[in-house]
Amino acid sequence: MTAQEHTTILKFQRVAPVDITALATEFGLSVYERDDLPEGVSGMICRDTSGESQSGYSIRVNADDVYTRQRFTIAHECAHFLLHRDKIGDGITDDAMYRSDKMTTQDEFAANNKAADLLMPRNLVLKYVAEGTSDANTLAHLFEVSVPAMQVRLRYLLYIR
Both 40 and 109 in a single domain?
Answer: yes
Residue 156 confidence class, pLDDT cut points 50, 70, 90: very high
User: Based on the domain organization, do 80 and 103 belong to the same domain?
Assistant: yes
HEC readout, 21-39: HHHHHHCCCEEEEECCCCC
Over residues 40-68, the pLDDT tens digits come to: 889 999 888 888 889 989 999 999 999 99
Per-residue pLDDT tens digits for 96-121: 455 555 567 788 889 999 999 999 99
Per mean pLDDT, which range of 13-17, 33-37, 82-86, 151-155 is the poorest? Answer: 82-86
Q: Domain range for residue 139?
A: 121-161
77 and 145 share one domain:
no
Q: Could you report the per-residue pLDDT of 115-147, keeping only the tens digit for each?
A: 999 999 999 999 999 999 989 999 999 999 999
Quote the number of domains for the chain.
2
Residue 94: its pLDDT value, please?
Answer: 55
Same domain, 38 and 20: yes
Kindly give the interhelix angle for 105-119 and 147-160, rounded to the nearest 10 degrees.
90
CATH at residue 26: 1.10.10
